[in-house]
C-alpha cells in the first residue's frame, strides 16, 4: 500500500489502529533486542527488512504529556504490514526509538507495498 493511500487521521489511537487493520496492517509488531517481532506468526526480523509507510502522533486530551506515536510499517520482501506503537517526547522508549531511526533510513531505498 502506498503511503499516500493512508488517511491522514482516523481519530484516536484505537480508531487509527482499527483503520490500519482494515487497510491491511494486521500485524502487531514489538521490539525485542534490536529486532521487530510479530508474535502472531512468530516472526523476528531485522529493521532493515521494514519501512515506515505512515506516522500518526497522539496527545492525551486531559494530559498533553500522555503522548504516543503509531507507525504503519511494511516489509515488501516478507509481505507483512503492521503497526508499532511508541511514546514520544518524555514517554519515548529508547529501544523502540533506536529501531525507528533504522527504519526511517530504509524509507528512501525500498519501494512501498502496492
Tens-digit pLDDT profile for residues 91-111: 556 666 666 676 654 544 333
Question: Quick one: pLDDT at residue 49?
Answer: 86
pLDDT tens, position by position, 32-80: 877 778 877 778 888 788 888 998 988 766 555 567 889 899 988 888 9
Question: Quick one: pLDDT at residue 113?
Answer: 37
Task: Give yes or no for a contact between 36 and 45, defined as CB atoms under 8 angstroms apart.
Answer: yes
Residue 3 gets which letter from DSSP?
G
Which pTM value belongs to this model? 0.73
Amino acid at each position: 500500500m502506498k503511503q499516500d493511500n493512508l488517511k491522514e487521521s482516523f481519530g484516536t489511537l484505537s480508531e487509527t489502529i482499527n483503520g490500519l487493520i482494515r487497510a491491511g496492517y494486521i500485524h502487531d509488531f514489538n521490539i525485542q533486542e534490536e529486532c521487530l517481532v510479530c508474535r502472531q506468526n512468530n516472526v523476528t526480523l531485522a529493521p532493515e527488512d521494514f519501512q515506515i509507510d505512515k506516522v500518526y502522533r497522539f496527545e492525551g486530551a486531559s494530559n498533553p504529556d500522555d503522548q504516543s506515536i503509531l507507525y504503519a510499517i511494511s516489509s515488501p520482501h516478507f509481505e507483512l504490514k503492521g503497526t508499532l506503537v511508541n511514546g514520544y517526547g518524555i514517554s519515548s522508549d529508547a529501544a523502540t526509538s533506536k529501531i525507528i531511526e533504522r527504519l526511517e533510513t530504509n524509507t528512501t531505498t525500498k519501494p512501498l507495498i502496492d
